[in-house]
Structure formats: structure tokens, C-alpha cells
Amino acid sequence: MSPETIRDAFRGGVCEQVDLKQEGENRFRVITPFRFEDGDHFGIFLKYESGRWILTDEASTMTHLSYWLNDEELDTGNRQEIIQGSLSVFSVEDRDGELIIPISDNRFGDALFSFVQALTKVTDVSFLSRERASDRHF
């Protein structure tokens, strides 16, 4: 199998699973194949707000994490550092638990890719054991 064929299979497999479903004026659900550990899909929405397009999780990621971790575990220590670091790396903003990424220069695909990476990294904190998360030297 040629590299080009494999590349096309990757593109076709992922891109075909990305879709938009309008759910209001200037609000769309972004359907992707990406999921939380429990099988629920990431909640990703495209909105036009304050004169710009953004992707938002409408606070679903942090809500999902709160099913397994209490607020104190999410708001302090290494978990909080990991979350903030992950958001920073991918230019995602935290608006009181709602994660957003602005879309610059109509680069919707790039923004979606970064947003999904950030959501994945953030949800990974649920795998840290209590001992590991409280250890400041890992």
C-alpha cells in the first residue's frame, strides 16, 4: 500500500466523521468521532459571538470530569497545573469552566484540531491517582 493511499484513508476516515448540525442561530454542534473515556462524545459547539467564531465545549468537559473528581481535586495542585498547561499549549481559554478557542483567519480545521487535543489532555487528568496528583515532584 502506498503512502498516498494510507494518507487518503486517514483523511477519509476522520474527515468523514466530522459534521455540523445547526442548533440555533449562529450555533452549531460539531460532531466528531472523539469521545470521553466513558464513551460520550466531546461536546463541541461552533458559535458566532462578539463578532467572531469560536469553538466552545459549553463547560461540558469540566462537568464530565466532575463526575469522577471533586471541585477541589480539579481546582488545586497538579491536576490544575496540568489543565492550565494543556489549555495554554493549545491557546484554549477557560471562561469559568467553559473552554473556548477563537477561530483566527477562518482556520476552522486548525482550531478544531487544537481544541480536540486540548480537551483530550484535560480529560486525561482523571487517570491520575490521588497519590500521583498530590505528589508535587512527578
Q: What is the pLDDT of residues 66-83, one digit of tens each?
A: 877 766 666 667 778 888
Query: Counting every residue, how long is the chain?
Result: 138
Rg over alpha carbons for the chain, rounded to the nearest Å, is: 16
Provide, rounded to the nearest whole percent, the portion of the chain with pLDDT above 70: 84
Q: Is there a contact between 25 and 32 (Cβ–Cβ < 8 Å)? A: no
Q: Tell me the pTM.
A: 0.81
Residues 6+ apart with CB under 8 A from 18: 30, 31, 32, 33, 112
Q: What is the pLDDT of residues 21-40, one digit of tens each?
A: 999 899 999 999 998 888 88
CATH 3.30.310 fits 3-67+83-121, yes or no: no
* Residue corresponding to grid cell 494510507: 6
Over range 77-106, report the average pLDDT.
Answer: 91
Most confident range (mean pLDDT) of 38-42, 50-54, 121-125 is 50-54
**pLDDT band at 133; cut points 50, 70, 90:** very low
Buried-exposed string 104-138: b where 16+ CB fall within 10 A, e elsewhere? eeeeeeebbebbbebbbbbbebbebeeeebeeeee
Beta bridge partners of 48: 53
Local structure of 112: helix, strand or coil: helix
**pLDDT band at 43; cut points 50, 70, 90:** very high
Nearest residue to 119 (alpha-carbon basis) of 94, 96, 138, 102: 94
CA triplet 55, 110, 75: central angle to 5 degrees? 50
Burial of 23 (0-12, 13-18, 19+ CB in 10 A): exposed
Q: What is the pLDDT of residue 73?
A: 65
Q: Is the pLDDT of residue 132 over 50?
A: no
Q: Is the pLDDT of residue 94 over 90?
A: yes
* Residue corresponding to grid cell 505528589: 135
For the chain, domain boundaries: 3-67+83-121
Tell me which of 11-15, 35-39, 118-122 is least confident. 11-15
